[in-house]
Chains A and B, each alone.
Chain A
Amino acid sequence: AQSVTQPDIHITVSEGASLELRCNYSYGATPYLFWYVQSPGQGLQLLLKYFSGDTLVQGIKGFEAEFKRSQSSFNLRKPSVHWSDAAEYFCAVGSQTTSGTYKYIFGTGTRLKVLA
């Protein structure tokens, strides 16, 4: 069965420091992979997505992620964190259903705290 694992429940970094959030997935075929961010009281906003091609994808707000098939990973990175990046981050995999449509499986999230 498809699954997504985010091993870090909480991460704390200082403002200006680099950031890497881990995501591992289990999926038989080539996955569609996503990172979303959720600020308190808000819905989810898509940061970036991977379908195929270049394994390093750029997203909004200065985020990037690298797809590594051999490690079944899709880690999110940012070279310099801003205080406004404090939020919860979700990794997701899109899997095709038998009807040909897609359903999305989300990881349990990583809550990011940024120290001034």
Chain B
Amino acid sequence: KAGVTQTPRYLIKTRGQQVTLSCSPISGHRSVSWYQQTPGQGLQFLFEYFSETQRNKGNFPGRFSGRQFSNSRSEMNVSTLELGDSALYLCASSKGTYSYNEQFFGPGTRLTVL
């Protein structure tokens, strides 16, 4: 069974630009969660999508958004990039039912904002 895949793996952007990251969950998983990982703040929850609907949201500004498609693939978008957005963005998928389901993480997308 293929794991969670994220593309691209590395990205360099400049301040003010926007970026879109992609995540393909494990087959059969309907929930996709996104996390931002930085040395200073650690792992912070961005949002979770389930069946094309945002189900949970962390404390990030509106510049961070996401969506999920009918095949459960998810994208997250960051507009008007700031230097502080440089981070490893991790995607995790799970079955997503209303009980705890183990999350499986992808390798991440390393975003550098110059």
Give A contacts to B, CB under 8 Å: 32, 36, 41-46, 49, 51, 90, 92, 94, 97, 99-109
18 CB contacts below 8 A, A to B, read A32-B100, A42-B107, A42-B108, A43-B90, A43-B106, A43-B108, A44-B90, A49-B102, A97-B56, A99-B56, A101-B50, A101-B56, A103-B58, A104-B33, A106-B42, A106-B43, A106-B44, A109-B43
Question: What distance in Å separates the Cβ of B46 from its nearest Cβ neighbour in chain A?
Answer: 11
Collect the chain B residues with CB atoms within 8 Å of residue A99's CB.
55-56
Give B contacts to A, CB under 8 Å: 4, 33, 35, 42-45, 48, 50, 55-56, 58, 90, 92, 96, 98, 100, 102-108
Contact B105 A45 (CB under 8 A): yes
Collect the chain A residues with CB atoms within 8 Å of residue B96's CB.
101
Contact A101 B90 (CB under 8 A): no
Give the distance in Å from the alpha carbon of A105 to the alpha carbon of B48 in the complex: 13
Contact B42 A101 (CB under 8 A): no
Chain A residue, CB-CB nearest to B91: A43
Give the distance in Å from the alpha carbon of A90 to the alpha carbon of B43 in the complex: 9
Q: Is the interface of B mostly helix, strand, loop or mixed?
A: strand
Collect the chain B residues with CB atoms within 8 Å of residue A105's CB.
45
Q: Is the interface of A mostly helix, strand, loop or mixed?
A: strand
Contact A107 B42 (CB under 8 A): yes
Contact B98 A101 (CB under 8 A): yes
Contact B42 A44 (CB under 8 A): no
Contact B45 A104 (CB under 8 A): yes
Contact B102 A101 (CB under 8 A): no
Contact A101 B55 (CB under 8 A): yes
Q: Which of A42, A43, A46 has the most chain B CB atoms inside 10 A of its CB?
A: A43
Chain B residue, CB-CB nearest to A46: B102
Contact A109 B42 (CB under 8 A): yes
Collect the chain A residues with CB atoms within 8 Å of residue B43's CB.
90, 92, 106, 109
